[in-house]
Structures are given as structure tokens and as C-alpha cells.
Amino acid sequence: MTMIDHAALTTALDRLPARYPGPGGVAGVVHEGRVVAARAWGHADVETALPMARTLRLPICSISKQFTCAALLASIGDPARLDARLRAFLPAFTGPLPTARQLCDNRSGLRDYWALSILQGAVAERRLTRGDALPLIAAMRTGHFAPGSAYSYCNANFRLLAEMIEAETGETLEALCRRHVWDPAGMATAVMASDTSERLDGVTGYEGSDATGFLPAVNGAWWLGDAGIAASLDDMLAYEAWIDATRDDPRGLYRQLSKPAFHDDGTPAGYAMGLGFSTVAGLAATGHGGALRGFRAQRLHIRDARLSAVVMFNHEASAHVAAADLLDAALGHRAPPPAPVPDGWDGQWLCRETGLIARIQTGRTDACLRYAVGAEALQVDGDALAAPGIRVERVGDGLRMTRALDHEVLAFDPLPVVEVADGSEIAGSFACDELGGATMQVEARDGGVHARFTGVMGTGRFERLVPAGKDVWLLATRRSLDAPAPGDWTVIVRRGAAGGVTGLTVGCWLARALDYRRAG
């Protein structure tokens, strides 16, 4: 039996409103199947002064993915039973299709359809109906790696799973989740809240920060198995208690979902069946986070300690860090102080394999790595910089980055910084055959360079193109239909034999290596 430090846990809970400032939030901890602490602070809506409460439902967003996989296991069993259905949803795909199990494990290689929506002209405030997403997915012709060879987070995987589960069973995903998980777990008010424009229980999500102020977030996306569920804190704490109650049952759904998983070469996988595998307080943990504009959620479970934490905010502070803080406090875990970061790490590099820029900016005891969706904090580890699942080493003037979760070892070449560049050479129109002829328009006037995308979802807004290196630019997306937005897109200029610009290669971590040819 693991003892917990109730005094430290109480202090950590009391500090949440100050450490993660925003309109409101809820948090709770379950130990050995019992709720040992819970909090609800602030307001669910600041205009109506509705107090935040444990019983109010908030979007749990991508935490939904594990429920999709649970419904699959309970109603169908072997994911391979769905493999034959996938071709109908990816009719244009060339090469081997991923398997349903690879969809469950985010190892399909498919590009994320929320990221692709930007390249198809979507703006953050538009409505996206159930019927809008599937044509976007159906247009995919290739993935950004061979199925099964690596990991990449992809909401399309779980949207496809949900559609195939409903087609196979003849039932809605909501009905299956209710029968197999929500009712057995006592999640009395959980619901499939697919239309994110609809407010549940009077709760509003807020964008912004304590420095800029908070404004109501506008959402219009339609989600299903990728992120469609809403639940209260009481629902989620009941789920954690059910996980504990079924921990020794070999047929228990969570026990099946959280079995250790491995890549094809036998190395441990960091993600499987809609769950992330991590280390918290020095112990193995499973869980998942969720994000929608104006909302953040996280659940973490440490099986060996029979301990879980759930945090949900109606603003955009890090629920993951908050949940880990609670578990650290409960277990009396204190990480050793980080070592100072030596000189020589600041700079930027271009990845040979993915075509994406990695940028490192150091502080006194940590370093900020920008490569994937958001900033990743690294600390000194011998001669390297590291974080859980990430290790960055110097190789001459280049870098080697090991990303255990992604199952990738990547080589980066130095990219000397270019702060000013003439964008006139890339001005014009470019078309992407992979995206069915969707276009990228680049404008350059008096030193300002901007680009916008047009496709099946309309015409997007102009965003700034910033020179990064010779023939390399950065285009930042800060707001999109999904949250968080994909972040920085790397744009690499392609030139013909005579030196003229013939095209661009555009990519981000969620959607890599999309070739655009000059069209005008």
C-alpha cells in the first residue's frame, strides 16, 4: 500500500488557482479507489457569475480517444476486424494502408486532418460539420511516414476509428461508451458533445492569459471519437475509481487498454490504444490530455501507487503540469534542481528527415525547444539536453535528436539565421497536388511577406512569413479550428536548374513534407 502525503496534497490543491490563473477550474485526486481530495474554484462563466462546480460538464477533448478504443475492444474485440473498412474512407491513398490497430496507436503515418484544414483554407471561427471532415480525410494520397514505422499524433486516426466502429456495430459511439464504460463506471452525466459551438451547463471557455486578459473562445468544430466527449469532474473521478476497482480483472477494459505496447523492432512504445505512457514522480503512469480553444484537461493514473489526478480548466493553462504537480505532492516527490545550461546551445537547425526547423533558446537552468506543436522544456543531462522521451546531442555543428515517443532518431544540420530576405522571389501562387490542388498565395510588399491558403474549406487569413535561413521560411499559425494550433510551419524553397523558384515544401510536425508547385 502506497502512503500519500495529505498535507502536501492539500497545499498543492490550494495553490492551483494562483499557479494556473484563469476564470476557473476543477481538480481531484483518487487513491485506492476513493476520492481523497477535490476542488472547484472560480467561475464557469464570468459574465453570468456561474460558479465552477464539480458537477458541471467540460469538454475532455482528446481524453475521448481512450473511450473510443474501449468501445472498440468491448463491442468488436480485435481491431483487425475493422481493417477491411478503411479503404472506403481513404479511396485515394497510395501504398499500404495502415491497420486499425495502428490508428489506435497513432502509428498510421496519416497527416492530421485538423492541421490540413489550415492548408485547405479554414479559419478558426468557421463551423465544421460532421460531413466536412471525411472528404478532407478521403483526399489523402500519402502519409508522412510508412504505417507502423514511427509515431505521430493524428486526430484523423480516431475519427476514422469512430466511423468504422459505428458502421461495424450499427450503434452510435455514444451508446457504446455509455453501455461499456460510462454506466459501469458511474459516469452519470458524461455525454458525446460533438458540436463544440454548443455550451453545456452554462460553461464558457476563455482564450488569453493573466497578462492579456481573458476573452470567450469561439468554437465551431464537430468532433467524434477523436475528441467529442464532455464530462464533469465527478464523472472523471468515478472513472478513476472504476479503473482501480477493475485493476486485477484481466477482462477489465482499462487494463486491456494500458497493456505495455511495443514498436515493430521491440522497443517500448509511448502511446497505444488512446493512452500515453509516461513517468510521473518516478513511477510509470498512463493518461491523456485534451485541448479545445478555451479549455484544457488532463488525467493521469499511476497503477503501482493506485493514484490518479484529474485537472480541468476553462482556460488554457497547462492541465498536464498541474496534474503532475498534484501527483508529485501526494507522493512527496521532489525532482533534483536542474543544472545550469552551458553556453553554445542557442541556435536553429534543419532536420534532414522531416524538413522541419528545430530552434533552441536557453535560459539559466532550462532550454526551450521549438520543433513539434508547442515549446518543449529541456534540461541538462550530461553533455545533452533532455526531457522525458527527448534527448538532444551535439554532433559537430549539427544535432542528433532522439524522440522515443516518435520512434525516431533525427539528424539536424545547422541553419544560419537570416533575419531579412527579399520575398519577391517566392511571391505568387503555388498549388499542392497532394491536397487536390489547394493553393498557397504569397504576397511580398516593401519587406513584408505574407501567405494564405485556399482550398475546399474556403480562403484563410494572411499569416506572416518570416525568413529563417537561406531559402527557408517560417509561417506561424496561432489560431485554428483545433487547439492548440499546429504552430510553426517550415517552408523550404525549391529551385530549378537555372536557379529560379519552382516550388515550396511546407510542413509542420502534424503534417510534413507537402510539395507545392509554382502555379502563377
- Enzyme catalytic residues: 62, 65
- Which helix (H) or strand (E) segment is 355 a member of? none
In our burial notation (b when 16+ CB lie closer than 10 A, e otherwise), range 332-369 reads: eeeeeeeeebeeebebbbbbeebbbbbbbebeeebbeb
DSSP string covering 406-426: TTEEEEEEE--------GGGG
- Sign of the alpha-carbon torsion through 104, 106, 111, 117: positive
Which among 475, 462, 464 is positioned nearest to 506, based on CA atoms? 475
Q: What angle do CA 276, 280, 285 make, to 5 degrees?
A: 40
DSSP string covering 367-385: EEEESSSSEEEEEEETTEE
In this structure, what C-alpha cell is assigned to residue 226? 477523436
Give the integer Cα–Cα distance in Å for 120 and 171: 32
Annotate 260-294 with three-state secondary structure: CCECCCCCECCEECCEEEEEECCEEEEEEEEEECC
Q: What angle do CA 261, 264, 268 make, to 5 degrees?
A: 35
Give the integer Cα–Cα distance in Å for 276 and 273: 9
